[in-house]
Each structure stands twice: as structure tokens, then as C-alpha cells.
Amino acid sequence: KPDLVMVNLGGNDMLRGIDPKETRANLTAICEELKRRGIPIFLTGMIAAPNMGPEYTRAFNAIYGDLAKRYDAGLYPFFLDGVVTDRQLMLPDRIHPNPQGIDAIVGKVAPQVAATLKPR
């Protein structure tokens, strides 16, 4: 049995304009199964690009925080925080981090994961 499962889903849903209700339903199903199995959850969130419009952005951006509260999960609110806006940390597609960007992400997320693994 895992000590913790990290869940990061939704970035591609957002880029494809999938209804946030569908993304929320998929993430909820994952969290429900992990809860059923008694496995702690750590969510690494995503936020919507501003060009998706205010209604979409509002609905999408609420997903991870809501689920973290509902499932008492650890949360890193925006997986690409500080990376997506730095060209030096992104691949030429400007969507995916390069190896240095991945190192930056891990450097930010790892301490929170470690804290989540400590006995509560």
C-alpha cells in the first residue's frame, strides 16, 4: 500500500477546453478510490490559462482547492508556479517544462510532500 499518491490531472483538459465539471468528476473519482483504499492524497494543482475566459477560469481554478478540503489532501496549488512564466525553464512549445523546469518544480513540491508524509 502506498504511503501517499500524488495526483496531477487537468492541464490537458484545460488546454482542450474540456468542461471543468468533467475534470472535477474525474479527479473526484480518483480521490474517492484512494479514500476507499485508505491512501493519503497529495494534489498538485493546475490553473486555467486566462484566455479560457472568466467563467471557465473560475470553475476550473476552484477544483483542486475544493478537493483538497474535501479529501483532507495535501495541496500544491499550481504545479507550474514560477516555471511556466520563465522561458529558461520551458521547452520551446511553452507548455512543458524542460529538465531545469522539472528540477524547479521538484524543489518546490518535494518539501511539501515530505511534510505530508510525516505522521499527523
Q: Please tell me the total count of domains within the chain.
A: 1
Amino acid letter at 50? P
Query: Rounded mean pLDDT of the chain?
Result: 95
- Phi/psi for 27 (5° steps) reads -65, -40
Task: Check whether 118 has a pLDDT greater than 80.
Answer: no
pTM (two decimals): 0.89
**Boundaries of domain holding 98:** 5-117
Q: Tell me the CA distances in angstroms from 86 to 81, 89, 102, 109, one per residue in order.
A: 10, 6, 12, 17
Q: Tell me the CA distances in angstroms from 113 to 6, 91, 96, 102, one per residue in order.
A: 9, 25, 22, 15
Q: What is the mean pLDDT of residues 11-16?
A: 93
CATH of the domain at 20: 3.40.50.1110
C-alpha dihedral (96, 15, 32, 42), degrees to nearest 10:
30
Task: Check whether 120 has a pLDDT greater than 70.
Answer: no
